[in-house]
Amino acid sequence: MARNLRVLFVASEAVPFAKTGGLADVVGTLPDALKDVGAEVRVLMPYYGMVKQGKVPTDVVAENLEGYLGGTPLAFNVRTPASGDYPFYFVERDEFFERSQLYGTPRGDYFDNLERFSFFCSTILPVCQNLGFQPDIIHCHDWQSALVPVYLHHRWQEADVLKRVKTVFTIHNLAYQGLFSKEKFPMLGLDWSLFGINGLEFYDQINLLKGGIVFADAITTVSVRYSEEIQTPEYGYGLDGVLRTRASSLHGILNGVNYQEWSPENDQLIPAAFSAAKIAGKAKNKTALMKAFNLDPKLEKAPILAMISRLADQKGFDLVAAILPELLAQDLMVVILGTGEEKYHRWLAAEAPKYPGKLGVKIVFDNALAHLMEAGADMFLMPSRFEPCGLNQMYSLKYGTIPIVRATGGLADTVAPADPAAGSGTGFLFSDYTPEAFAAAVNAALKAFKNQKQWRRLMQNAMSQDFSWERSASAYLNLYKLLLAGQD
Ligand code: ADP
């Protein structure tokens, strides 16, 4: 193809405009990386209250276009950033999107999320028609945009502008599926025949994610291992059967890391820069980290084990709780930064005073502190129950903070098992989701730490890993090309 491939991303969040999770990083970062390999990407997302109030002013580029809810037409505007090089378009309909949050408040999800996001999906056709944008690929992300492939098959078959388009649907986390009561099905504007086992029905409810899985031309997950795992009952959240039927169209493409932001050589948020060649600077960060968490200066030579995480069941905090007393009986320090479920807030608040100078806990979202922890700690804990990709272990590798991870999803794909005596590998892995298996991995790491020469070697191995966006972008581009060539 002589001209650049044209891609439309449809997503519910993207940095720098609106973010609740890793999805926003992917959607905000991948377009630039794709541009570098020769694709022209535009991103369509809702015009949330936080976009409206954000730093980037926008202009209306199309007014009074017509989306729909069920069979009812509903008007909307399209906006773009007034200046700068952002390839973004925003769907403006305040009734749905001018809210304080994206999906709900701490008290629960917004009651009309099905209406909000099915309307959002309905806008794709009028946006492309009105802006004269004829995409080759529409790339949808997570349940909020999963109706687009369904509409392409069942509402928009006659639309010229989308006639030859192929769809990619990326699952960033299978645990979030967009489940709604079947009474709302008429809101989708689809025939009831699609509410069935081969359509959007899931145990008598509507499952929007399933629509994306069934009707997209290709499905991707954010690591290869996760794409395999979700085809099993243990990880499939009830969708493993459907995913198996699409196995030949299911691909894993690992997320990248933004090394502009996350590399110890040029990190503006840490007290001392360092690199594999000049590793001494890491010690200064350790001292600063110990201060930040009020850790006992006498333990300076002992390792710091860090954890930065959403406080959610997915992340393996029950395993951490199970081994913590035994762990902290040794000469070491543990620092934990996270926010999330109330039960974990209470648990951590109760644990911290029991181990003064050894256990540091901060229940806040603090990006600068996250950088300091990556820079100053010696080891990083990620005992996740499941992990679609995971970013922190990749950051840890770059900062020479040896990851101790469960061998699942993206963790298994990015951390190579260490053999300290042989000088190979980048981290410590365990398979069984049990406190014993986790403790064994931690103990292996602690043992290796005692031989600083061997440990240095592991740090060097870890720091030389490269998980840049360039690699991911090339993999997506290849997939797009395969689809357009009719080979997938
Ligand atoms: P997930 O997307 O499942 O939450 P990831 O490891 O993929 O997990 O990404 C989490 C991101 O959020 C990382 O960049 C991590 O540093 C950041 N993060 C999570 N909790 C906090 C916190 N309390 N303070 C600062 N950053 C955090």
Residues 356, 242 share a domain: no
Q: How does the average pLDDT of the chain come out, rounded?
A: 96
Distance between CA atoms of 118 and 124, rounded to whole angstroms? 11
User: Is residue 179 a part of any domain in this protein?
Assistant: yes
Q: Which of 172, 174, 385, 391 to mutate for ligand 1's pocket (most ligand atoms within 8 Å of CB)?
A: 391
**Is 266 part of a structural domain of the chain?**
no
- Asked, for residue 115, whether it belongs to a domain, the answer is yes
Collapsing DSSP states into helix, strand and coil, what is residue 336?
A: strand
* Tens of pLDDT, residues 19-77: 888 899 899 999 999 999 999 999 999 999 999 999 999 999 999 999 999 989 999 99
Q: What tens digit of pLDDT does each residue of 297-354 get?
A: 999 999 999 999 999 999 999 999 999 999 999 999 999 999 988 999 999 999 999 9
Q: Say yes or no to pLDDT of 487 above 70.
A: no
Distance 308 CA to ligand 1 centre (A): 6
Same domain, 98 and 158: yes
Number of structural domains the chain divides into: 2
CA of 392 to the centre of ligand 1 (A): 7
Does residue 80's CB lie within 6 angstroms of at least one atom of ligand 1? Answer: no
d(CA 288, ligand 1 centre) in Å: 21
Measure 391 CA to ligand 1 centroid, in angstroms: 7
Ligand 1 center from residue 347 Cα (angstroms): 20
As a residue count, the chain comes to 488
Residues 377 and 289 sit within 8 Å (Cβ to Cβ): yes
Judge whether residue 279 has pLDDT over 70.
Answer: yes
What predicted TM-score, i.e. pTM, was given to this entire model?
A: 0.94
Q: Are residues 251 and 364 part of one domain?
A: no
Closest ligand 1 atom number to CA of residue 173: 3
Q: Taking 90 as the threshold, does the pLDDT of residue 236 lie above it?
A: yes
Shared-domain flag, residues 443 and 476: no
For the Cβ of 370 lying below 6 angstroms from any atom of ligand 1, the answer is yes
Please check whether residues 355 and 438 belong to one and the same domain.
Answer: yes
Selection from 139, 135, 122 nearest residue 161 by Cα: 135
Q: Are residues 453 and 477 in the same domain?
A: no
Say yes or no: 229 and 288 in one domain.
no
339 in ligand 1 pocket by Cβ < 6 Å? Answer: yes
The answer as to whether 265 is a domain residue is: no
In tens, the pLDDT along 346-388 reads 999 999 999 999 999 999 989 999 999 999 999 999 999 999 9
What CA–CA distances, in Å, run from 81 to 87, 99, 153, 160, 452? 8, 20, 31, 28, 51
What is the side-by-side strand order in the sheet with 333-340?
359-362, 333-340, 304-311, 379-382, 402-406, 428-430
Q: With contact defined as beta carbons under 8 Å apart, do 134 and 167 qualify?
A: no
Mean pLDDT of 139-168: 96
Which residue's CA is the closest to the ligand 1 atom numbered 19?
309
How far is 461 from 473, CA to CA, in rounded Å? 24
Is 311 within a domain?
yes
- pLDDT computed for residue 488 by the predictor: 62
Q: How many other CB atoms are found less than 10 A from the CB of residue 221?
A: 26
| Domain boundaries, position 153 | 5-256+469-484
What is the CA(186)–ligand 1 centre distance, in A?
Answer: 37
Evaluate: CB of 368 within 6 angstroms of ligand 1: no
Same domain, 459 and 473: no
* 227 and 122 fall within a common domain: yes
Kindly report, residue by residue over 385-442, the tens digit of the pLDDT.
999 999 999 999 999 999 999 999 999 999 999 999 999 999 999 999 999 999 999 9
Cα gap 106→108, rounded to integer Å:
5
Shared domain check, 296 and 159: no
What lies within 8 Å, CB to CB, of 432 at 6+ separation is none
Residue 315, domain CATH: 3.40.50.2000
Largest CA distance in the chain: 73
In single-letter form, the type of residue at position 131 comes to: L
316 lines ligand 1 (CB under 6 A): no
What was the pLDDT predicted at 2? 58
Q: Are both 250 and 393 inside the same structural domain? A: no
Closest Cα partner for 225 from 245, 250, 203, 249?
250
Q: What is the pLDDT of residues 176-196, one digit of tens each?
A: 999 999 999 999 999 999 999
Q: Provide the 3-class DSSP secondary structure of residue 406.
A: strand
Claim to verify: residue 34 and residue 171 sit in the same structural domain = yes
* pLDDT given for residue 22 in this prediction: 83
Phi and psi torsions of 220, nearest 5°: -130, 155
74 belongs to a structural domain: yes
Residue 349 within a domain: yes
Question: What distance in angstroms lies between residue 477's CA and the mean position of ligand 1's atoms?
Answer: 27
Is 310 touching ligand 1 by the criterion CB < 6 Å? Answer: yes
CA of 459 to the centre of ligand 1 (A): 22
Residue 107 clears pLDDT 90, i.e. is over it: no
Is residue 272 included in any domain, yes or no? no
Q: State the angle between helix axes of 435-450 and 317-328 in degrees (0 to 180), rounded to the nearest 10.
A: 50
